[in-house]
Structure 1
Amino acid sequence: MKENKIRFGDLKSTMCVSQSVSLAEFFQEKAFIEFEKKCQENMWLTCSIIMLVLLLTTILTAALVKKYRVHVDYVILRLRSRWKGVVHVVYPKTFQFDAFMSYAEEDDQLACTTLYGELLSLGFLISFPDKDFIPGISKAEQLLHYIDVSRKVIFLVTENFLESGWDTYAIQMVVTHAFHNHREKSMIVIIKDSIPVERMPKDLRYIWWSIKSIRWPENGENMMIFLQELSTALHSN
């Protein structure tokens, strides 16, 4: 219309809604330039608001997923089990293992040889990643499976364990699973290297009231007392 305004005979009587002026005045160069600038400002303002909202939504979603990653994984794994036809059994039930053992990779000799050997000699059936996890299958999925079929969960807490990244995920998964299935007292924490309770992972400290903690005997002293205490904890309900 601006380029062909000579074709319109009623421009002075036709009003522009956005400018409240006649089209004849609106098509003057100065008025039209101001209108274009205003349109661009409104467009950029709208786009900026949309982009800001999308950015904040993305950041908030990422933060929530990171914070509640284990809970999200737990729900997904449970749903996946249902899709595969795995029926959730109400506890108590007959367990495949007496305990599942979680430890830092750097402590595999201590866990898989020393501790596992002692528990095996006492007649306990113990599952742990180095023995039972199958390569190529999700560690999270296998972790949930083995804590599900084990009556207790043993955490071997050492300096290496506290420095590990996997231990936090494993602890959160076990804690989530335990409270979801009313098995709050299924966790046993073996503390080594004279680590104080204050340095325990926060997820364990929050539920310390429900955890059975046992100190590893330093320099091999009182090993029989330690094993007896651990055996009692494994037999308890």
Structure 2
Amino acid sequence: MRENHFIFGDLNDTQCISNSVSMGEFLQEKAFIEFEKKCQANLWLTWSSVVLVLLLNTILMTAFVKKYRVHVDYVIFRLRSRWKGIVHVVNTKTYRFDAFVSYAEEDYDLACAILYQELKRLGFEISLPDVDFIPGKSKAKQLLQCIDESRKVIIIVTENFLKSGWNSYAVQMVVTHAFHNHRDKSIIVIIKDGIAIERMHKDLRYIWWSIISIRWPETEENMNTFWEELSKALHLD
């Protein structure tokens, strides 16, 4: 209309609803430029608001997933299992293993050469990441599967364990699994190196009342007592 106003005979009798003026006055150069600026400002305000909302939602979702990563992974693994037709039975009396052992890589000798061998000698079926995890497959997925197939979970807490980022993930997965399946007394914590309870992972401290804790003996003379306590804890329902 601005470029072809000469073909509109009644232009001055036509009102612009945006500015409440006649179209003749509205289409003057100065008035129309101001109108364009106003429209552009409203458009940018709309788009910037949409972008801001999307950005805030992205930040919040990222923070949520980061904080509750284990819980998200746990739910995803469970849903995938259902889609594949794998039935999860809560509080079943039949397990493939008596215990799954979680430990830091630096404590391989302690977990595999000492703990694993002695528990096998005592007649327990034990699952270890270095024994049962298949290279190339999702480590997190295999962790949940081994925990799911074990009646108990043994966590060997050493200075190395406290420094390990992966084992923080493992602890959260163990606690999440126990919480979702109402498995009290299913977590056994073996404390080594004189580590204080205050230094334990926060997820363990929060449910310490439902955990069986045993300290690794400082002398060889007390090892027999230690194995007896651990055996008793593994037999406990």
- TM class by shorter-chain length? over 0.9
**Aligned counterparts of 1:194 and 1:26: Cα–Cα separation in 2:** 84
User: Runs in 1 of length 4+ with deviation above 6 angstroms?
Assistant: none
1:64-213 correspondence to structure 2 within 5 Å? 64-213=64-213
State the alpha-carbon separation in 2 of the partners of residues 219 and 31 from structure 1. Answer: 93
The percent identity for this pair of structures is: 72
Shift of 1:90: 3.4
| RMSD across aligned positions (CA) | 1.1
**Counterpart Cα distance in 2 of 1:90 and 1:234:** 19
Tell me the equivalent position of 1:215: 215
**CA separation in 1, counterparts of 2:202 and 2:90?**
29
Residue in structure 2 matched with residue 20 of structure 1 by the alignment? 20
C-alpha deviation, 1:4, in angstroms: 0.9
Q: 1:46 maps to which residue?
A: 46
Mapped to 1, the partners of 2:46 and 2:89 lie a distance apart of 53
Kept after mapping to 2: 8 A contact 1:175/1:184: no
Q: Deviations over 1:189-237 (max 9, x none)?
A: 0011111000000000000000000111124341111111111111111
Q: Distance in 2 between matches of 1:221 and 1:205?
A: 30
Change (3 A) 1:32 1:225: same
Task: Choose 32-41 or 218-227, whichever is displaced more.
Answer: 218-227
Distance of 2:221 and 2:64 partners within structure 1: 46
Q: C-alpha displacement at 1:138, in angstroms?
A: 1.0
Cα distance, 1:24 vs structure 2? 0.4
**Matched residue count:** 237
**AA in 2 matched with 1:130:** D
TM-score by length of 1: 0.97
> In 1, Cα distance between the equivalents of 2:67 and 2:227?
37
**1:66-114 deviations in whole A, cap 9, x for unaligned?**
1111111111111111122211223231211110000011111111111
Residues 139-197 of structure 1 show CA distances to partners (whole Å, capped at 9, x for unaligned) of 12111111111110000001111111111211111111112111121000001111100
Letter in 2 for 1:147: I
Question: In 2, distance between residues paired with 1:31 and 1:144?
Answer: 68
Taking structure 2 as the reference length, the TM-score comes to: 0.97
Per-residue deviation, residues 25-67 of structure 1 (Å, max 9, x unmatched): 0011111111111111111111111110000000011111111
